[in-house]
A and B are shown apart, each in its own frame.
Chain A
Amino acid sequence: MHLILFIVFAGLCLAGAINLLLQSHPIDSALSLIVVMTSLSVLYLLLGAEFLAAAQVIVYAGAIMVLFTFVVMLLNAGREERTLGSRVAKSIGFPAVTVILAVIATVILHAQGLGVARLSDGITSTEDLSSILFTKLLLPFEVTSVLILIAILGAVALARHSEGNEDSQGSAEGTGK
């Protein structure tokens, strides 16, 4: 049962990712990315991480991707132009990508102590997760939140900077996002 679900949703995930690259319309690409995000959350669920699955849907599919589609809608972006790609990209890009993927794969395969994840019925409860997050991993957790705070401050600074040029309606829209 788990294996069937895994194959179905892993396939969906890959199909979404490939579709994301092939689509010529930005909004289609954004929607494919949502498919990738949601099928990833099902994969998390299959690994027993229910909180992570729910957070994945809420944060990535429900908030970040809404912002993406919002921007596409606001700019009313049309179809992107197709080019055949430069010769440099073809001759250097593809081998480079293959090499990088190979390096990453070998490093991961040879790394020790990464732990094993199994498709199982066992579910890590939110309580266990949060007690580890707020005791053992407290420092990295708080440092990450500072990182996010910096990003927010940067966004505010950027919005402030352009306030003089735009009318008040634009800044109200900015607050909305």
Chain B
Amino acid sequence: MTILQFILWSMLKVAVVTVVMLLGIAYTVLLERKLVGRIQNRWGPNRVGPFGLLQPLVDGAKSFLKEDIIPTGVYRPLYLLAPIIALGCTLISIAVVPFGAPVSVWGSPPLFQISDVNVGLLVILGVTSIGVYGIALAGWSSNNKYSLLGALRSSAQLVSYELALGLSLVGVVLRAGTLNLRLIVEQQGTNGILSWNIFGGFQFVAFFIYLMAAFAETNRSPFDLPEAESELTGGYHTEYSSMKFAMFFMAEYGNMINVGCVATLLFLGGWTNPFANFFGSPHNILIQALMPLFWFVSKVFCFLCLYVWVRGTLPRFRYDQLMNFGWRWLMPLAILNIVATSLWLAYR
């Protein structure tokens, strides 16, 4: 494979994944509005298109057409840079996620993954940790006390929970013995649901910690203090309007999808079939190639539904409760999990 071919294939994959990701973000918003509507005993959006299915597209058009206001007192370069950092980091970290088994056609590189990096997990964590700047700079450069408070809360929260998040993944990495996402998934594929890290690997404590930390990392309810409307009128993006606001919005939902992808890869067996070979493998080669994709997407979908369910159910934490929970409960628990997993691995 020449360099030119490699670049062309990569560009194609990047284009497809970006488009699918953006559509996924748009429809995650719709999913949330619909599900939360049902939880609160109302219909949710149902006017635009059948069952309100065109709502996200209309929303997108609306944000494009709104007037773009830049307040006078802002620190301009950073004010403009912040939404780009936020959305950019979200879209970059999907690049190392394997969506399906390494299938290739016509001598192409593996189709269902943009880039197979040896330290894929660390790349995701690194890019996520850069994403904090988007929020922090947005709040600071807006020159608004609500924005600044929201950004301070948010960056403190992100830095604190990143620790628990990273530590909760160590158990999985210890079991797998690699940081390569594809290899981690392949090791969970042998016996279907029984060899998933969450069940067969006894990593359910780690999964719980990851879940909590992930809710906090993505600024989602019950940890959505950075944009607590009743206190901060909107948090770090108070001063943003039009498409710049939409970029923060998209970054948030994109992060939800990313977190769902990582949970699926590390704990829920990635693209592998939960029933293993119980029903036999399909004969059609096309179905054989697309089944992993189906499993991956449905697992991520379930994770997103869980997200929305939690949002519709739980009230918001107080700030000190949030910090206490993160540092005094989640982090020691994560360290205990690492110790227990290592002991078990050494004993075996």
**Closest chain A residue to B141 by CB distance?**
A27
Residue from B118, B123, B125, B126 whose CB has the most chain A CB atoms within 10 Å: B126
Q: List 27 A-B contacts (CB under 8 A).
A: A1-B3, A27-B78, A34-B133, A38-B130, A51-B122, A54-B125, A54-B126, A57-B126, A57-B130, A58-B129, A61-B129, A62-B128, A66-B136, A66-B155, A66-B159, A67-B159, A69-B137, A69-B140, A73-B139, A73-B151, A123-B118, A126-B118, A126-B119, A127-B178, A172-B319, A172-B323, A176-B156
Q: How many residues of B contact A (CB 8 A)?
A: 37
Contact B140 A73 (CB under 8 A): yes
Please measure, in the bound complex, the distance between the C-alpha atom of A72 and the C-alpha atom of B78, giving whole angstroms. 14
Q: Taking beta carbons and an 8 Å cutoff, which residues of B are in contact with A?
A: 3, 75, 78, 117-119, 122-123, 125-130, 132-133, 136-137, 139-140, 148, 151-152, 155-160, 162, 177-179, 319-320, 323, 327
Q: Are A70 and B118 touching (Cβ within 8 A)?
A: no
User: Within A63-78, which residues are at the interface with B (CB < 8 Å)?
Assistant: 63, 66-67, 69-70, 72-74
A18 to chain B, nearest CB (A): 18
Closest residue of A by beta carbon distance from B179: A126
Dominant SS among interface residues on chain A: helix
Given A62-B130, A69-B136, A173-B156; A54-B151 close (CB under 8 Å): no
B129 adjacent to A175 (CB under 8 Å) = no
Does the CB pair A73–B126 fall under 8 Å? no
Count residues of chain A with CB under 8 A from any CB of chain B.
Answer: 30
Give chain B residues whose Cβ lies under 8 Å from the Cβ of A58. Answer: 122, 125-126, 129
Task: Let me know if A73 and B132 touch, CB within 8 A.
Answer: no
Q: How far is the CB of A164 from chain B (nearest CB, A)?
A: 19
Interface string of A118-151 (1 = CB under 8 A from B): 0000010111000000000000000000000000
Q: Which residues of A contact B (CB under 8 A)?
A: 1, 27, 31, 34, 38, 50-51, 54-55, 57-58, 61-63, 66-67, 69-70, 72-74, 123, 125-127, 172-173, 175-177
Instruction: Please tell me which one of the listed residues B130, B157, B177 contacts residue A176 in the complex, with CB atoms under 8 A apart.
Output: B157
Min CB gap A45→B, angstroms? 10
Nearest-CB distance from A148 to chain B (Å)?
A: 14
A27 to B157, CA, bound (A): 20
Instruction: Apart from A34-B133, A61-B130, list 17 A-B contacts with CB within 8 A.
Output: A27-B137, A27-B140, A54-B122, A58-B125, A62-B130, A62-B162, A63-B129, A66-B136, A69-B133, A70-B136, A70-B155, A74-B152, A126-B119, A127-B177, A172-B320, A176-B157, A176-B159
In the assembled complex, the CB of B342 is this many whole angstroms from the nearest CB of chain A, namely 13
